Amino acid sequence: MKIVLNIVFILAALASAYYLMESIRRPVDFRDTWAERKTAVQEKLEEIAELQKMYTSIKGDTLFAASFEELETSFLKDSFFILKIEGDPFDTTITPDTTELMYPARDSVLSFIAAAGKLDQAKLKELQGPALEIMENWQDTSQDVRQDPAVAAYLDFAEASIKDYFKKIRSVPFSDNKEFIVAAGEVAMEGRRAFGRRLPTFEVKTTVGDYMKEYSVKEYGMYDPSFDHAAEVKVGDLTKPSTTGNW
């Protein structure tokens, strides 16, 4: 009988130790997981905000993209202009020569993707350099420059890379492939000199529940009062000009 009681006491002690360790480990694991996932979501939202800035610069600061499809299409097909000035623009004795140079948006977004570590920079450099040189010096008006093998290889690589990037950037991390919600709008400028002008706005958002679905508020809310599945995490703001996040 004494042996049986000792076994029972040992099992009870082990069970108590287990539940004590669980009571310590559970909230720590939850907070670590939430912090990791919040960081991943916020970094992706900041990246999308940079894409929106690039988009509006292409569109002349007049609007933001209302969808990932608009962003992707613009970076694949649109171009933007850069004003090249030759001479000193501050020298009042001369008139500097100015030239508008047109650059494909795809080249800029490819550099952006490569800088973010999501594209093989060596492969990009290998294909882009020769192709851009050929396109800049192309003089055969009887043939499309895209027929050149080096140019064709670069353009195929660029299109495939951009499309692949946009398949991934739209997905909320840890969310079973849910996508960020994108919206664009405009607001009236404030001030006496606004003259009815309006400014473009955008918003890209998700909810805590999208990337913390398996952690129910009922079970884990006790560890952090701010844990709420309905809480929005977003960058930008439809009601005011902003490109920052709400965290």
53 half-sphere exposure, CB direction, 13 A CA radius: 12
> What does each C-alpha distance from 243 to 31, 151, 201, 205 come to in angstroms?
28, 36, 8, 12
Backbone Cα Rg of the chain = 27
The distance of Cα 108 from the centroid of its chain, to the nearest Å, equals 15
Query: Is 25 a domain residue?
Result: no
Query: Is 37 a domain residue?
Result: yes
Question: Which pLDDT score, from 0 to 100, does residue 26 have?
Answer: 81
Least confident of 16-25, 106-115, 177-186, 192-201: 16-25
Coil/strand/helix, residue 46: helix
Query: Is 149 a domain residue?
Result: no
Helix H or strand E segment including 11: helix 2-58
| Residue 6, C-beta contacts closer than 8 angstroms, at least 6 positions apart | none
Question: What tens digit of pLDDT does each residue of 162-215 get?
Answer: 999 999 999 999 998 899 999 999 998 776 666 668 899 999 999 999 999 999
Domain extent for 202: 31-109+163-245
Total of domains in the chain = 1
Query: Is 197 a domain residue?
Result: yes
Query: Is 85 a domain residue?
Result: yes
Average pLDDT over residues 23-42: 89
Average pLDDT over residues 58-84: 85
Pairing of strands 97-104, 79-86: antiparallel
Of the pLDDT bands very low, low, confident and very high (cuts 50, 70, 90), residue 101 is: low
Question: What tens digit of pLDDT does each residue of 126-150 get?
Answer: 999 999 899 888 888 888 888 999 9
The string of DSSP letters for 87-143 reads S-TT-TTS--EEEEEEEEHHHHHHHHHHHTT-S-HHHHHHHHHHHHHHHHT---TTS
Query: Is 125 a domain residue?
Result: no
Query: Is 155 a domain residue?
Result: no
Q: Residue 130 and residue 126: Cα distance in Å, rounded?
A: 7
How many beta carbons lie within 10 A of that of residue 120, not counting itself? 12
Query: Is 3 a domain residue?
Result: no
Question: Which pLDDT score, from 0 to 100, does residue 246 have?
Answer: 94
* DSSP tag of 216: -
Question: Which pLDDT score, from 0 to 100, does residue 160 have?
Answer: 95
Least confident of 56-65, 71-80, 93-102, 121-130: 93-102
Backbone angles phi, psi at 23, to 5 degrees: -65, -25
The distance of Cα 139 from the centroid of its chain, to the nearest Å, equals 38
Token pair for 54: 């690039």
pLDDT averaged over every residue in the chain: 85
Question: Which pLDDT score, from 0 to 100, does residue 36 have?
Answer: 96
Residue that wins the pLDDT comparison between 47 and 96? 47
Query: How long, in residues, is the chain?
Result: 247
> Quick check: 65 pLDDT over 80?
yes
Give exposure, 92-112, as e/b (b: 16+ Cβ within 10 Å): eeeeeeeeeeeebbbbbbbeb
